[in-house]
C-alpha cells in the first residue's frame, strides 16, 4: 500500500465532529436583571432582585437619558485642541447619565457540564471597572471598559444547581472625552470545555508565504493536556475541505502546523475571501476539543518610499475613524446596525476603518472580514499621563500589558486587521519617559504579533520629531499638522507617513450659512455648522487639503478621516455651548444619513459608480435675488449649471485652489425659486449625466424608505427606515421640521429614532421626534416570532406614511 493511500486513510479517520460534543458556548443575552445605584448586598446569591428591571445584553443603561447639561460637566482646557483657558464643557460626554454604579444579575444552569470539565466566563466589553461575582463570591475584576477579558470559574461553579452571576459596574465622572456608554454593552458568554482542551484565544493563524500556486498557512494551537494530537481541516468559502494536517509534535504547550493551500484565493477589500480552519484536539482517537477559526490569506507590506501594499499591489488607505457608539442605540453592540454603517461607508468608497480610540467589537471585525474593510485596531486614548482626571492613566501601569495581550489574542486571526495602534494623541509624546513607554508598548505588540506593524496617532509632531518618539514607531501616524508632513517625512527614517487622523471638517446636514467662506471654529446662533464643507476646527482643516497630500505625495500612504459618522459627545465647535451634545465631524450624521461631504469623498473614493451631487437645497424663501453659491461634487471633471433653464456657465476642475481641484463651484449664482440642474461632461466634452433639484411647496405627505424589507425573527435584527416629507408634487421638503409620531404593530417593535440634529434633546427611545432638514430615521426591531411588521408615521397636517416589513425564521 502506498504512503499516499495510508495518509488518506488516516485523514478519513478524523472526520470533523460537532463542536457541541466537545465544548459549549452559551451567550448570556437573556434573563438579566438590572438596577442602577450602589447596593452592598447585590452580589449575594440569595439577594432579592424581583423588582429590578428585566433587560437583555448587550445593554447600555445611559442611552435612555435624559440629556442634562449638569451631567459630567467638565471645566477644562483641552490641550490637544490648543486651548489655553479652561471653559465649561457641558456636552463633552454626551450629557447622558452614564456616571454612577449599576448592577447586573443573572441565573444559569449548565446541563452541558460534565464532571472534570472547565467553565469560563468571557466578557467582550463592560463599561466600566467590572467586578464579577458568582454565587456570592468575587471571581475577578478588570479595569478598562473597552477590553476583552475572561475568568476561569470552574472552582466556583456549582454543577446541577442554579448559579447566580452578579456584575458591578462603576463609571466615574471626568473619565472620558466622549460618550463612553454604560453597562454590559458587548457580549457575555459561558464556555464549557474539557480539561484537555484548546486555550481560550489559543489559536494563531498566519500566512507567511503566498504565491499564485500555493500559500503556506501556519497554525499554532495552545493546549492543556498530555498525549495529545491535533488534526486541522481547512475549508474554503463553500465549506469544501481543501487541505488537512495531523500532528502529535508538541513544543511546550503548543502545536505548530504548516499547511499548504493550493491556488489560494486572496483576501482584499475588493474580494474578501474567507477560509475556515477546524482544529480538532484528540487524546488517542478520542476527540477532546474542537474550534472553528475564520481567516483570510493575504500579504501586507510597508516599504520605504513605496508605501503600503496588499497582495503585491500598492494602494493608499481610504479610511475613516469610528467611535464605538451607534447613535440612538448607544454603545450596545448590534450587528445589523454595524452592518448598515459599513454598507454606507463601502458605497462611499471607504476601504479601511480605524477604531477610535479603543478596542473594537468582535462583531465589527467579523463584518469587516466579510465585507472587505481593512482595519486599524486601536488600544488606548491615554497612557500614564492624563487627558481627563479619571481616565485610563489610573490603570496604565497595572493593566496596559494585559489589555494589549488580550486585544491581540482575541482578534489576531481577523484578516481585516492590517495595523495596530498603541495610542492616540497621548500626552506622553513629550519627554523621554513617553518615548520609553512607546517602545515598551510596541515591543509587546511585536512579541504577541510579529506580523503587523504598530502606529500611534501623533499630534505633537514637533516634539516627536525631536525626541525620537516618532522615529521608533513602525508607522509614523500624523493627526492633522499638514504643514509638518514634509519635515516629518525628511526626519523620520520609515520613508512614509500615514494620515492617522485627518480633516475634522464640521457640518450639519442640510444647513447652509452665508456668506460662503472658509472659517475655523465658526459659531452661529443656532449652534449648527455650514454644510458647504468649508468650516473646520482650530487644529484641523477642510478635506481638499488632505486630498492634495494624498494625490501629490507618494510617500503619504493614506488617510483616516475624522469621522465616518457623528457620535455622541465632543460637540466641537460648540463644546462650551448648550444645548449641543453630539459631534459635527461626521461624514454621515448621527442617524446615519449622509451629509453633503459624503459625496465629496465618494467622488474620489468610489471609482466604480457615478457621483453627481448638488448643494445647497433650493428652498430659500426670503433670499430671492441674493448670492447663493452652488457646489457640485462629482467624479466628472466638468459640468454646466442651469437655473430655470438659464446657463450659469461651465466649471472645470483645476488647480488654482485646492477647492477648485476637487469641487465644481459657481460662486455668483443668484437665488430664484424653481429648478437647479447640472449636466456633467466626460473628458471629451460630451454630456453624460444630469441631475435636478427643485423648490418645494409646503409639506404634504410622509414618505418611508427602509434599508431592508426582511428581518430575521431573532429579537435583535433591525431595519432603518428613513422618513422624509414631500410636497403635493412629490418634491422633497429639505427644510421641514414637523413633529412626527411612530407606531409599530405586528411582529416587531419600535427601537429608537434619530434626526441628526446635534442640538436636539428629544429622547431616542420615545416614539416621537422632529424632522431635521426634512429627514429622520426610525429603527424597528424584529421580535422572536416570524410575521409581518407595520410601521406607521403620522404628523399634524400631513398625509401619513406606512411601510410593511417581514420577519422570517
Mean pLDDT to the nearest integer, 36-55: 97
Residue carrying C-alpha cell 422618513: 723
The CATH number of domain 31-64+97-193 is 2.60.120.260: yes
Give the chain's mean pLDDT: 96
Q: Which of 11-25, 35-49, 262-276, 676-690 has the lowest mean pLDDT?
A: 11-25
**Is residue 659 classed as helix, strand or coil in its secondary structure?**
helix
Query: Grid coordinates representing 631?
Result: 457646489
- pLDDT of 394 strictly over 60: yes
pTM, full prediction: 0.96
Q: Please report, for residues 18, 319, 777, the alpha-carbon distance to residue 113 in angstroms, rounded to integers and kept in the order given.
A: 16, 45, 45
Query: Grid coordinates representing 617?
Result: 437645497
Contacts for 686 with CB less than 8 Å, ≥ 6 apart: none
Q: Provide the CATH number for the domain formed by 701-808 in this structure.
A: 2.60.40.10
Residue 77's pLDDT is 82
Q: Please spell the DSSP secondary structure of 582-615, one letter per residue.
A: B-S--SB-TTS-B-HHHHHHHHHH--SS--EEEE
Mean pLDDT to the nearest integer, 746-766: 98
Q: What's the distance, CA 3 to chain centroid?
A: 51
- Confirm if 579 and 655 have CB atoms less than 8 A apart: no
User: What residues are paired with 151 via a beta bridge?
Assistant: 121
Digit-coded pLDDT (tens) for 141-162: 999 999 999 999 999 999 999 9
- Confirm if 719 and 805 have CB atoms less than 8 A apart: yes
Q: What's the distance, CA 565 to chain centroid?
A: 9
Residue 82's pLDDT is 75
> Considering all CA atoms of the chain, what is the largest pairwise distance in Å, rounded to the nearest integer?
94
Quick one: pLDDT band at residue 13, thresholds 50, 70, 90? very low
- pLDDT of 4 strictly over 60: no
% of residues, the chain, pLDDT over 70: 97
Digit-coded pLDDT (tens) for 343-374: 999 999 999 999 999 999 999 999 999 999 99
Comparing 84 with 62, the larger pLDDT belongs to 62
Tell me whether the CATH fold assigned to 3-17+196-295 matches the one assigned to 31-64+97-193: no
Mean pLDDT to the nearest integer, 664-693: 97
Digit-coded pLDDT (tens) for 541-595: 999 999 999 999 999 999 999 999 999 999 999 999 999 999 999 999 999 999 9
User: What residues are paired with 478 via a beta bridge?
Assistant: 458
The whole-angstrom separation of Cα 564 and Cα 324 is 11
For the chain, the C-alpha Rg in angstroms (whole number) is 28
Q: What's the distance, CA 140 to chain centroid?
A: 28
Mean pLDDT to the nearest integer, 35-39: 96
Domain ranges of the chain: 3-17+196-295, 31-64+97-193, 304-504+539-567, 701-808
The CATH number of domain 304-504+539-567 is 3.20.20.80: yes
Query: Grid coordinates representing 658?
Result: 485646492
Q: Which residues are catalytic?
A: 425, 501
- Which secondary-structure segment (H or E) carries 368? helix 362-371
- pLDDT of 721 strictly over 80: yes
The whole-angstrom separation of Cα 610 and Cα 676 is 19
- Confirm if 748 and 783 have CB atoms less than 8 A apart: yes
Contacts for 551 with CB less than 8 Å, ≥ 6 apart: none
Query: Grid coordinates representing 343?
Result: 454598507
Quick one: pLDDT band at residue 7, thresholds 50, 70, 90? very low
Residue 21's pLDDT is 66
Residue 612's pLDDT is 98
DSSP class of residue 732 equals B
Residue 5's pLDDT is 31
Mean pLDDT to the nearest integer, 308-321: 98
- pLDDT of 20 strictly over 70: no
Q: What angle do CA 404, 408, 410 make, to 5 degrees?
A: 115
The whole-angstrom separation of Cα 89 and Cα 577 is 7
CATH class label, 3-17+196-295: mainly beta
Q: Please report, for residues 82, 483, 541, 543, the alpha-carbon distance to residue 546 in angstroms, rounded to integers and kept in the order given.
A: 21, 11, 8, 6
The whole-angstrom separation of Cα 530 and Cα 754 is 20
Amino acid at each position: 500500500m502506498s504512503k499516499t493511500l495510508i495518509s488518506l486513510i488516516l485523514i478519513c479517520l478524523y472526520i470533523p465532529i460537532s463542536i457541541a460534543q466537545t465544548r459549549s458556548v452559551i451567550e448570556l443575552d437573556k434573563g438579566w436583571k438590572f438596577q442602577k445605584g450602589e447596593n452592598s448586598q447585590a452580589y449575594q446569591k440569595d439577594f432579592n432582585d424581583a423588582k429590578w428591571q428585566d433587560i437583555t445584553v448587550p445593554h447600555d443603561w445611559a442611552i435612555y437619558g435624559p440629556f442634562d447639561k449638569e451631567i459630567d460637566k467638565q471645566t477644562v482646557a483641552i490641550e490637544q485642541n490648543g486651548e489655553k483657558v479652561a471653559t465649561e464643557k457641558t456636552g463633552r460626554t454626551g450629557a447622558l447619565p452614564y456616571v454612577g454604579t449599576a448592577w447586573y444579575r443573572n441565573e444559569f444552569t449548565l446541563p452541558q457540564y460534565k464532571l472534570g470539565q472547565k467553565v469560563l466566563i468571557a466578557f467582550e466589553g463592560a463599561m466600566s471597572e467590572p467586578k464579577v461575582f458568582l454565587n456570592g463570591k468575587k471571581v475577578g475584576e478588570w479595569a478598562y471598559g473597552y477590553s476583552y477579558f475572561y475568568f476561569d470559574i470552574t472552582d466556583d461553579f456549582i454543577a446541577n444547581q442554579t448559579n447566580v452571576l452578579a456584575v458591578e459596574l462603576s463609571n466615574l465622572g471626568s473619565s472620558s472625552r466622549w460618550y463612553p456608554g454604560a453597562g454590559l454593552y458587548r457580549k457575555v458568554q459561558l464556555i464549557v470545555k474539557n480539561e484537555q482542551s484548546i486555550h481560550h484565544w489559543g489559536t494563531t493563524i498566519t500566512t507567511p508565504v503566498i504565491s499564485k500556486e500555493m500559500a503556506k498557512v501556519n497554525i499554532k494551537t495552545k493546549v492543556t493536556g498530555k498525549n495529545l494530537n491535533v488534526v486541522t481541516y481547512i475549508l474554503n468559502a463553500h465549506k469544501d475541505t481543501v487541505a488537512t494536517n495531523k500532528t502529535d509534535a508538541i513544543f511546550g504547550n503548543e502545536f505548530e502546523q504548516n499547511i499548504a493551500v493550493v491556488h489560494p484565493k486572496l483576501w482584499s477589500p475588493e474580494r474578501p475571501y474567507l477560509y475556515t480552519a477546524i482544529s480538532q484536539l484528540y487524546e488517542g482517537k478520542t476527540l477532546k476539543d474542537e474550534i472553528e477559526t475564520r481567516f483570510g490569506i493575504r500579504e501586507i507590506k510597508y516599504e520605504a518610499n513605496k508605501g503600503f501594499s496588499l497582495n503585491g499591489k500598492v494602494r493608499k488607505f481610504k479610511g475613516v475613524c469610528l467611535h464605538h457608539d451607534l447613535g440612538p442605540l448607544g454603545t450596545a453592540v448590534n450587528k445589523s446596525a454595524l452592518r448598515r454603517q459599513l454598507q454606507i461607508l463601502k458605497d462611499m468608497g471607504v476601504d479601511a476603518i480605524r477604531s477610535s480610540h479603543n478596542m473594537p467589537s468582535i462583531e465589527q471585525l467579523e463584518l469587516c472580514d466579510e465585507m472587505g474593510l481593512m482595519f486599524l485596531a486601536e488600544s488606548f486614548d491615554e497612557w500614564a499621563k492624563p487627558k481627563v482626571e479619571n481616565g485610563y492613566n489610573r490603570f496604565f501601569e497595572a493593566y496596559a500589558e494585559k489589555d494589549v495581550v488580550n486585544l491581540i489574542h482575541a482578534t489576531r486571526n481577523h484578516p481585516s486587521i492590517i495595523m495596530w495602534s498603541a495610542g492616540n494623541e497621548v500626552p506622553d509624546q513629550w519627554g523621554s519617559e513617553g518615548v520609553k513607554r512607546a517602545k515598551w508598548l510596541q515591543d509587546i505588540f511585536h512579541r504577541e504579533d510579529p506580523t503587523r506593524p504598530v502606529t500611534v496617532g501623533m499630534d505633537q509632531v514637533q516634539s516627536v520629531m525631536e525626541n525620537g518618539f516618532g522615529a521608533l514607531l513602525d508607522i509614523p501616524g500624523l493627526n492633522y499638522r499638514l504643514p509638518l508632513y514634509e519635515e516629518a517625512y525628511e526626519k523620520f527614517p520609515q520613508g512614509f507617513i500615514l494620515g492617522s487622523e485627518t480633516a475634522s471638517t464640521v457640518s450639519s446636514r442640510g444647513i447652509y450659512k452665508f456668506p460662503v467662506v472658509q472659517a475655523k471654529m465658526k459659531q452661529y446662533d443656532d449652534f449648527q455648522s455650514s454644510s458647504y464643507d468649508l468650516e473646520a476646527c482650530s487644529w484641523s482643516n477642510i478635506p481638499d487639503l488632505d486630498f492634495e497630500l494624498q494625490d501629490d505625495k507618494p510617500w503619504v500612504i493614506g488617510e483616516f478621516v475624522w469621522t465616518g459618522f457623528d457620535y455622541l459627545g465632543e460637540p466641537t465647535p460648540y463644546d462650551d455651548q448648550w444645548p449641543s451634545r453630539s459631534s459635527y465631524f461626521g461624514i454621515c450624521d448621527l442617524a446615519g444619513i449622509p451629509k453633503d461631504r459624503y459625496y465629496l469623498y465618494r467622488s474620489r473614493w468610489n471609482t466604480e459608480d457615478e457621483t453627481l451631487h448638488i448643494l445647497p437645497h433650493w428652498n430659500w424663501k426670503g433670499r430671492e435675488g441674493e448670492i447663493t453659491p452652488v457646489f457640485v461634487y462629482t467624479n466628472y471633471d466638468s459640468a454646466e449649471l442651469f437655473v430655470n433653464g438659464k446657463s450659469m456657465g461651465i466649471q472645470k476642475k483645476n488647480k488654482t485652489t485646492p477647492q477648485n481641484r476637487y469641487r465644481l463651484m459657481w460662486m455668483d449664482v443668484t437665488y430664484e425659486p424653481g429648478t437647479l440642474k447640472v449636466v456633467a461632461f466626460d473628458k471629451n466634452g460630451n454630456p453624460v449625466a444630469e441631475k435636478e433639484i427643485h423648490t418645494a411647496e409646503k409639506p404634504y405627505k410622509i414618505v418611508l424608505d427602509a434599508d431592508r424589507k426582511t428581518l430575521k425573527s431573532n429579537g435583535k435584527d433591525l431595519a432603518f427606515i428613513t422618513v422624509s416629507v414631500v410636497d403635493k408634487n412629490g418634491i422633497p421638503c429639505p427644510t421641514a421640521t414637523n413633529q412626527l409620531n411612530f407606531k409599530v404593530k405586528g411582529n416587531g417593535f419600535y427601537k429608537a429614532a434619530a434626526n441628526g440634529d446635534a442640538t436636539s434633546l428629544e429622547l431616542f427611545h420615545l416614539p416621537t421626534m422632529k424632522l431635521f432638514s426634512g429627514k429622520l430615521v426610525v429603527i424597528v426591531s424584529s421580535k422572536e416570532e416570524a410575521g409581518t411588521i407595520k410601521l406607521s408615521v403620522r404628523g399634524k397636517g400631513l398625509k401619513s406614511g406606512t411601510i410593511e416589513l417581514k420577519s422570517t425564521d
